[in-house]
Amino acid sequence: MKNWEQDLYIYQIHPVPPKKEDLQEYIDLYIAEQDDKYLMWFLHYYESVLNDTAIEAIERYSMKGHFVDIKQACVTGIFKALQSYDKDTHGNFITYKVRIMWNEIHEYIRQMRTGLTVPSENKYRTLRQIMRLYGEYGYSTEAIRKISKEVNLSVKNVKEILLSGIENMNIADFYVSYADEEGEETLTDITSDTDFEPLRVLLATERFNYVKEAFEKLDYRERLVVSEYLAFCPDCFKLKLKKVKLSDMAIKLCLTPDAIENVYKKAIKKMRKYLEEKLL
């Protein structure tokens, strides 16, 4: 079987689980008994629809090469729909989850098309120039006007770029967790810097962008696992109050504990390699 053919049967279970006439029965059992096997049974029989949905999204949005990630986005949407689903209020689950599942697909496509708010090289050079002038002139109405003239941008644009630069100085510490040879985790502070000295601000901004670049190179599932486990927002990188355990994510993504741990470790190794190349 070729690799792409294997992608069509990710959620197939052997031996084949008991078949229900109505897939809604699996959802009802899952909610009533809180037993993950019923969700796995549902996905076993629903996988052909997941494949068709992923193919539809690929054709509609020209996302060739993203089949597995879009399929995983579908499953993430299904899991999210389950968190808010109430049979008495929402009726049939398969109908209810459609909007939420497609929202997740669109979010994945948005991230792949636009990136994670990483500025372009031109915008980054402009940011560096504006931050240098900010260190020289300070922040005032007159200072903004001066900077606006020097960089040939409107006052409004200068304010927006400057505020994004200042925000980088206030971003909560972002920690990248590395698995060492023994499998233990250590925390390396990548972006912590609250000093307002312009040069230090620029260096912190540069490090921050390297981290975002490394994170963006991960696939959809890897970004989801890393951001949830390390408890940070994948869009703005601010820390969340509580991280999600790998064991809980395994249930959420319908993977085994070993599989979810491998996803996490593989993602961290990718990020570490990228950062070592950029920062060393």
Structure tokens at 154: 């409107």
Q: Give me the CATH code for the 115-170 domain, please.
A: 1.10.10
Instruction: Identify the CA nearest to 72 among candidates 99, 101, 111.
Output: 101
pLDDT mean over 159-165: 69
Which range among 75-79, 135-139, 173-177, 235-239 shows the weakest confidence by mean pLDDT?
A: 173-177
Higher-confidence position of 38 and 278: 38
Amino acid at 250: A
With pLDDT > 90 as the criterion, what percentage of the chain qualifies?
22
Q: For residue range 221-232, what is the model confidence (pLDDT) as tens digits? A: 888 888 888 887
**Residue-level pLDDT at 181:** 35
Domain with CATH 1.10.10 in the chain: 115-170
The dihedral sign for the CA sequence 136, 139, 144, 145: negative
> How far apart (Å, rounded) are the C-alpha atoms in residues 267 and 252?
18
pLDDT mean over 179-199: 36
Higher-confidence position of 13 and 239: 13
CA atoms within 13 A on the CB side of 162: 25
Q: For residue range 50-107, what is the model confidence (pLDDT) as tens digits? A: 999 999 988 887 777 788 889 988 998 998 899 899 999 999 999 999 999 998 898 8
Burial string for 195-229 (b: 16+ CB within 10 Å, else e) reads eeebeebbebbebbbbbbbbbbebbbbbbbbbbbb
Q: How many other C-beta atoms are found inside a 10 Å radius of the C-beta of residue 26?
A: 24
Cα end-to-end span (Å), the chain: 42
Say if CB 218 and CB 270 are below 8 A apart.
yes
